[in-house]
Amino acid sequence: MEKENKCIDLEIEKTAVFKRRWYILVLFSIYTMWNCAIWNTWGPVAATAKQLYGWTDGTITLFTLWGCLNFPVFFLPSAWLLGKSLKWSIIIGGLLMVIGSGIRIIPLFFENPNQEVFLWLCHIGAILNTIPGPIAMSAPIQISSVWFPPMERSLATSIGQMFNALGVGVSFLLGSGVVSNKELTQCEELLLNYSFILALNDLSNQEQEIFNLLLIQFSVSVGRQTIEQ
């Protein structure tokens, strides 16, 4: 025990501790949380998306499935990049998040967006956002070892890991708060079919809410990336 304590004391003496380590951890925690929130964009608003764009459950599922498909492809490049530079790993991952969340809103700036183009851009955006997924999930260990002394590393790693999972909860809070995720009953669908103007107004409001959701996700990604750099 005495030898172990001496080793720990020596390691603490060799570790340069900076106050800004918590600031670095906060920035990364927001990064990993937001990456997960964008990954789960469409799950919380699935009913509205299916009603607006004619998507199926399979389409909604594929958006999140890209994360699972990309992980075995990009975990080795991510590990190599993390070994080269922790800073540039997170910056590159953040840029991919900005591009991925940004291209989805391009068609929505037009009055009558092409639904097929919008669908493909949503898939491309989902792929780009999940490429840095391995970085978001594995970087907490490296951040804690680089910036924190031994006695704080467990806490720092736990915070970084938990914020990634917290992103799912944030996506549900944001989605339900911005988009009126209402699934129409058969009676309401019949009424809307007989009232074309009412249907147009309802869809227009929902399209605006989807646009607002995607714009918020893009804006936060840009703001976080700007502060990080």
Residue 9: inside a domain, yes or no?
Answer: no
Residue 67: inside a domain, yes or no?
Answer: yes
pLDDT reported for residue 22: 92
**Strand residues in 63-186 grouped as ranges (E):** none
Residue 8: inside a domain, yes or no?
Answer: no
The model's pTM: 0.81
One-letter amino acid identity for 66?
A: W
Residue 126: inside a domain, yes or no?
Answer: yes
Residue 38: inside a domain, yes or no?
Answer: yes
pLDDT tens digit sequence for 33-86: 999 999 999 999 999 999 889 899 999 999 999 999 999 999 999 999 998 998
Query: Per mean pLDDT, which of 168-172, 182-186, 196-200, 202-206 is the most reliable?
Result: 168-172
Q: Retrieve residue 114's tokens.
A: 């092409």
Q: How far apart are CA 50 and CA 48, in angstroms?
A: 5
pLDDT tens digit sequence for 117-149: 999 999 999 999 999 999 999 899 899 988 998
CA atoms within 13 A on the CB side of 224: 28
Q: How far apart are CA 214 and CA 112, in angstroms?
A: 17
Residue 63: inside a domain, yes or no?
Answer: yes
* DSSP, res 206: H
Residue 5: inside a domain, yes or no?
Answer: no
pLDDT reported for residue 5: 52
Is 140:156 a contact under the CB 8 Å cutoff?
yes
Please give the mean pLDDT across all residues of the chain: 84
pLDDT reported for residue 108: 85
pLDDT tens digit sequence for 88-106: 999 999 999 999 999 999 9
Residue 3: inside a domain, yes or no?
Answer: no
CA atoms within 13 A on the CB side of 176: 6
When divided into structural domains, the chain yields a total of: 1
Is 226:54 a contact under the CB 8 Å cutoff?
no
pLDDT reported for residue 229: 64
Q: Retrieve residue 203's tokens.
A: 């869809």
**Residue 195: which pLDDT band, with cuts at 50, 70 and 90?**
very low
Range of the domain at 92: 21-228
**Residue 228: which pLDDT band, with cuts at 50, 70 and 90?**
low
Q: What are phi and psi of 28, to 5 degrees?
A: -65, -40
Radius of gyration of the chain (CA): 21
148 Rama sector, left if φ>0, alpha if ψ -120 to 50, beta otherwise = beta
C-alpha distance across the termini of the chain, in Å:
43
Read off the CATH number of the domain in which 60 is found.
1.20.1250.20
Nearest to 68 by CA among 121, 118, 134: 134
Question: At a CB cut-off of 8 Å and minimum separation 6, what does 115 contact?
Answer: 53, 54
